[in-house]
Amino acid sequence: MLRIENLSAFYGEAQVLRDVSLEVCAGEVVTLVGRNGAGKSTLLRCVMGLHPGQRGAVELDGRDITRLPAHKRARLGLGWVPDDRGSYATLTVTENLTLPPTVGPDPWSLERVYEAFPALYTRRDSAATMLSGGEQQMLALARVLRMGARLLLCDEPTEGLSPLLVQQVGDLLREAKRHGVTVLLVEQNLHFATGVADRHYLLAEGRVAEAMDNSEVRSRERELLAYLGI
C-alpha cells in the first residue's frame, strides 16, 4: 500500500533520514521504533507531505505521491495523528472531528464516534484543548477514523497516557485493523507495539537498521530496551 524508496530528509544542512526504503502492505500495522532523533517523526511527516526538504520517492497504492501537497495526500486516504495530538483550541470537539472531509469508503459517523467515546460526547461543545491529554489522544484517533482514512500515520499515540488509556488506544487500532485500515506507527513502547503491530522497523541515525517481526522483538526485548535507552 505504502512504499518508501531511498527517502532522505534534511533540516537545513543536517540530514535526518538517509536512503530509507520500506513498505507497508494493506491491512498491516507497522511500527517505527528508534531512539529520539532517529528520524521516526520526520519519516511520518515526509509521508504526509509536511516536510519540505526531502529526496526519494513515496508511493501510495502504486501511485507516486512524492510531489503531492499534504491536502491532496489526505484526500487519498492518509490520516494524520500528530505527536502533539493536533487539537485545535479555536474549534470545539465536534468541529475538531468534522473539520476533515470524509475521504475513505468506510468513515465512522459522528454518532458512532460519540458512542465509542462518551467522554468526547459530554464535552462536545468545549474547546478541544480543554480535554485531558488522554481524551485529546482519543479525539485525534477518532478524527481520522471519522475521515475514513485508509492509512493512519500515528506519531507516538501512547506517549504520556495511563496504562488503561494505552490499552484503549491499542483496542482502537486493533479494531481499525479488523476493518482493513493500515497503520504506520511511531512507538517507543515495545510492549504496546508487539501487541498491535505485525512488523517493526528499527530506525537508527536516519537509516533502517533492522526489520523485525513480533517474535524477534519479544525475544530481544531486553537488548532493544537498552538500546532505546528506556
| List of residues contacting another protein (CB under 8 A) | 48-50, 69-71, 74-75, 78, 80, 82, 84, 86, 88-91, 95, 98-101, 103, 143, 147
Taking the alpha carbons of 76, 196, 192, 169 in that order, is the dihedral positive or negative? Answer: positive
Integer Cα distance of 208 and 74 in angstroms: 25
Q: Which is nearer to another protein, 102 or 214 (CB)?
A: 102
Q: Which residues pair with 194 in a beta bridge?
A: none
Q: Which is nearer to another protein, 95 or 205 (CB)?
A: 95
CB 56 within 8 A of CB 39: no
CB 199 within 8 A of CB 182: no
Q: Which is nearer to another protein, 186 or 224 (CB)?
A: 186
State the nearest-atom distance from the C-beta of 124 to another protein, in Å: 14
State the nearest-atom distance from the C-beta of 165 to another protein, in Å: 22
State the nearest-atom distance from the C-beta of 159 to another protein, in Å: 15
Q: Which is nearer to another protein, 89 or 164 (CB)?
A: 89
Which of 48, 45, 44, 55 lies closest to 5, judged by CA? 55
CB 58 within 8 A of CB 46: yes
State the nearest-atom distance from the C-beta of 148 to another protein, in Å: 11
